[in-house]
Amino acid sequence: MATTTASLTITSGDISSDALSISVTETFYKAGTTIGLDQTTGLAKKTFAAASSNQNIALASAYTDDKAHKLYIKNPGTSTTDYIQVVIASGHSVIGRLFGGEFMFIPWSGNEDIDVTTSATNMAVEYMIISEA
């Protein structure tokens, strides 16, 4: 059985009057089971020579609905102004922007394609899907 675990730690000594310290860990399981997720696209990287709109990185038709899928997207750049915009493709609903060094890790239903738009030339996007068959 495959075992995939993610950890996230958020700390700040000055975001509020009290120090902030959150640390969570989760093991990923197939929907409704305690069997680990055993499929992955592998870590992929696409570089766009020009600013590009609506470039698909997660194609819903390749996944089965009602399954457990996790989506990782990162802007590996260092720019504080150039960004990758992450979009739910069908309604063009923007999930958010990732500036240099930022990432997102979300559950994904596999019901809608996920696209990215880059704001500048020569931008790269790293991404991976961890899922069940």
pLDDT in tens, 28-68: 999 999 999 999 999 999 999 999 999 999 999 998 777 89
pLDDT at 66: 79
pTM: 0.91
User: What's CA 32's distance to the chain center, in Å?
Assistant: 22
Looking at per-residue pLDDT, the higher value among 1 and 101 belongs to 101
Paired residues of 84 in beta bridges: 98, 118
Categorize the per-residue pLDDT at 75 as very low, low, confident or very high, splitting at 50, 70 and 90.
very high
Q: Does residue 90 have a pLDDT over 90? A: no
User: Considering only CA atoms, which of 62, 37, 67, 7 is closest in space to residue 130?
Assistant: 37
Q: Which CATH class is domain 39-131?
A: mainly beta
The domain ranges of the chain are 39-131
Query: How is residue 83 written in tokens?
Result: 């960004």
Query: How is residue 131 written in tokens?
Result: 């899922």
